[in-house]
Amino acid sequence: MRVVIAEDLALLRDGLIRLLNAYDFEVVEAVDNGPSLLPALLKHRPDVAVVDVRLPPTFTDEGLQAAIAAREQVPGLPVLVLSQHVEQLYARELLSDRTGGVGYLLKDRVSHVSQFIDAVKRVAAGGTALDPEVVGQLLARRSAEEPLKALTPASARCWA
């Protein structure tokens, strides 16, 4: 199974490469910044991409943006986000695309190598792998927005 990795931390990137190779994955490219990710994904069209959210140069959401852009050009490209952060806006966009496998794991909550390897395989096979904390944060924000949607224009003026 061919993998592209996007991770800016050298030790983690190298560790992911070694780990995936040990489990018979072929890491075809590993990048350390956002601008390099999209070309790598389009060039290799991997069986799965393992992507950090925050990459250089701005350390905001380059990883997710590149993954979403790649899925627009390669529909169904499997993407497993592995990050320390839940970027809610782009996470929703990535997860709402019903084509191809997607996953979102938090680095500090992956407690077993087998859990990570299973998630990579599941996403590559077209499934999902979601950390419960990610789901909780996405649902919490959505439920907080629901009361605002229920307001009519007239009632909204009363609250303003």
- pTM here is 0.85
**How many of the other CB atoms lie within 10 Å of CB of 45?**
15
Domains of the chain: 2-131 (3.40.50.2300)
Tell the burial category of 69 from Cβ atoms under 10 Å away from its Cβ (0-12, 13-18, 19+).
middle
**Helix 88-96 with 132-150: angle, nearest 10 deg:** 100
* Chain segment 137-149, per-residue pLDDT in tens: 878 765 555 554 5
Residue range 70-97: average pLDDT? Answer: 87
Say if residue 152's pLDDT is above 60.
Answer: no
